[in-house]
Amino acid sequence: MRALVKPAAAPGVELREVPVPSPGPGEVLVKLQKTAICGTDLHIYQWDEWSQRTIEPPLVIGHEFVGTIAEIGVGVRGYEEGQRVSAEGHVVCGVCRNCRAGRPHLCPHTEGIGVNRDGGFAEYVVVPATNLWPIPDEIPSELAAFFDPFGNAAHCALQFDLVGEDVLITGAGPIGIIAAGIARHVGARHVVISDVNDYRLQLAADMGATRTVNVKNERLLDVLDELDIDGFDIGMEMSGNPQAFNDLLSAMYHGGKVALLGILPAGTGIDWDKVIFKGLEMHGIYGRRMYETWYKMTQMVLTGFPLHKALTHQIAIDDFETGFDLMARGQCGKVVCDWTGEIEPAA
Query: What is d(CA 267, CA 204) in angstroms, rounded to the nearest whole number?
Result: 30
Q: Closest Cα to residue 91, out of 123, 65, 130?
A: 130
Cis peptide before 291 (omega within 30 of 0): yes
**Catalytic status, residue 35:** no
The three-class DSSP label of residue 53 is: helix
Active-site option among 35, 43, 90, 190: 43
Edge to edge, the sheet with strand 14-17 lists: 14-17, 2-6, 59-60
Compute CA 262 distance to the chain's CA centroid, rounded to the nearest angstrom.
Answer: 11
CB-CB contact of 223 with 246 (8 Å): no
Residues written for the chain: 347
What Rg value do the Cα atoms of the chain yield, rounded?
20
Is residue 116 classed as helix, strand or coil in its secondary structure?
Answer: coil
**Selected catalytic residue, list 35, 40, 110, 210:** 40
**63 labelled catalytic:** no
Tell me the residue type at 48: D
Helices (H), 211-254: 220-227, 242-251
Q: What does 135-151 look like in DSSP terms, one character per residue?
A: --TTS-HHHHTTHHHHH
Axis crossing angle, helix 292-302 with helix 147-157, rounded to the nearest 10: 100
Q: Is 65 exposed, middle or buried (0-12, 13-18, 19+ CB in 10 A)?
A: buried
Q: Which residues are catalytic?
A: 40, 43
